Structure 1
Amino acid sequence: MFDKTLCSSFLILLCVQLLAATTTKLVPGLAKVPGTNLTRSHRNSAVNNFPINGLPPLTYSTKKYFFYDEGVTFLEAWNLCREKGQRLAAIESYQDHVAYKEQVAPYVGYETSHWIAATNIGASSHDYRKFYWITNDRPIGYINGFSNWIEGEAPNDNDLCVATYLGSAMWIYGSCTSSSSYACEEPHDV
C-alpha cells in the first residue's frame, strides 16, 4: 500500500513539473515580463488588442502595437520597424489611443518613452507646429482633429520627433537624435 501511494505521489509530482515546464516556455523571439505571466509580444494571438479578459474595449481599434526596449534614435526606430515588416506606430484617433494605452500597459516601468511616427522634420520655419505622421504623410489631426500633447498643444520648435510618455500615452517631444524605446504597428493599406 505504501509503495502504491509513494509511486502515485511521484507520478503526480512529475506531471506537475512537466506541465509547469511546458507552460513557461516562450516562443522564440518573445520575452517574458518579470513577475507576470505576460510576454512582450503577442504576435500569434488572435486577441492582440484585447485586455486580459479577452473582450474588446468599448472604443475599438484594429491596430496591433509592438513595443521594443532598445534605445535608438527616431530614424533608427523607423528603419527597425520597417526591417520587422512593421511601421512606426501612428496614433491617429481616440480609438487608436485607447488601444495603444491598453497594449503599452504591461511595459510601463521598463522605459519612460516610446518613439511614435509623428515629427515636424522638414517643416518650413513658419510651420513648426505642423507635425505629420512619417508613415503616411498625413498631418496630425487629419482624420478627426485628434492629438494628445502632454502640454496641450504642439511645441513651437523645429526638427522634433514625438514619443509617448509612460502608460498615459501622452505625447512628448524631443530631439530626433535622442535615444528612446520605440513602438511599431502592423502596416495597413492606406
Structure 2
Amino acid sequence: MVFDKTLCSSVLVLLCVQLLAAATTKLVPGLAKASVTNINRSHSNSAVNNFPINGLPPLTYSTKKYFFYDEEATFLEAWNLCREKGQRLATIESYQDHVAYKEQVEPYVDYETAHWIAATNMGASSSDYQKFYWITNDRPVGYINGFSNWYDGEAPNASDQCVATYLGSALWIYGSCTSLSPYACEEPQDV
C-alpha cells in the first residue's frame, strides 16, 4: 500500500515537471535554441572584470588574525608581551579558528617549534586539573562548542599547566607555565 502511494506520487511529480517544461518552451518560442552571439564588454578594464579570483587566500570562516613571535618567554610573559603589542594571547575556540591558525602558522614552523596559546589550568583545584580555561576571556576551553585539539586526545591531569600548539599541526601540547617558548597572539575581538 505504501509502495503504491509512493509510486503514484513520483509519477505525479514527474508529469508536473514535464508539463511545466513544455509550457515554458511554448510561452517563449525558441527558448531551447537560444544562444548568445555578442557580448558587449564596454567595462573590460573595470575592477570587477579584473578581480584576481585565483589570488584569493583560502576561505576559513574565522575572523581571527594570528601573529607569531619567535622570542621565547614563559606563559605569563607571553601573555604580557601580547598585551604590550595591543594584542592578546591566541585562543582557538572552534574548528574554524583551528583551520585559520594552522594556515597562518605554517610559514613560521620548523621541526622544533611550539607556540604558547592562552589555555591554562593555573590555580585549579586537584579535582579540576583537566578543566582548562582561556586566560584572555576567562571562558572554559570548549565552552562555545566543545572544541579542543589535544595531542593526546584529552586534557592532561596535572596541575599548573599551560598550553602551546605543536608545530604546523596546531595540536595542543602542555607543559610547565615557566618553560620558555615562542608564542602566538591575536587581534582582540569585541565579544
TM-score between the two structures when normalised by the length of structure 2: 0.70
In 1, Cα distance between the equivalents of 2:111 and 2:77?
20
Cα pair 1:78 1:87 within 8 Å, conserved: yes
The question of 1:54 aligning with 2:56 is answered yes
1:80-95 aligned within 5 A: 80-95=81-96
Q: Deviations over 1:129-187 (max 9, x none)?
A: 00000000000000000000000000000000000000000000000000000000000
In 1, Cα distance between the equivalents of 2:135 and 2:112?
23
Moved more, 111-120 or 73-82: 111-120
TM-score between the two structures when normalised by the length of structure 1: 0.70
Inter-CA distance 110–82: structure 2 relative to 1 (3 Å threshold): farther
Amino acid at match of 1:98: V
Higher helix share: 2
Cα pair 1:131 1:139 within 8 Å, conserved: yes
How many pairs does the alignment contain? 138
For structure 1, the residue ranges without an aligned partner over 5 or more in a row are 1-51
Partner of 1:78: 79
Inter-CA distance 120–82: structure 2 relative to 1 (3 Å threshold): same
Amino acid at match of 2:81: L
Partner of 2:118: 117
Amino acid at match of 1:125: S
Output the aligned Cα RMSD. Answer: 1.3
For structure 2, the residue ranges without an aligned partner over 5 or more in a row are 1-53
1:1-190 aligned within 5 A: 53-57=55-59, 59-109=60-110, 111-190=112-191
Runs of 4+ in 1 over 6 A off after TM superposition: none
Cα pair 1:132 1:140 within 8 Å, conserved: yes
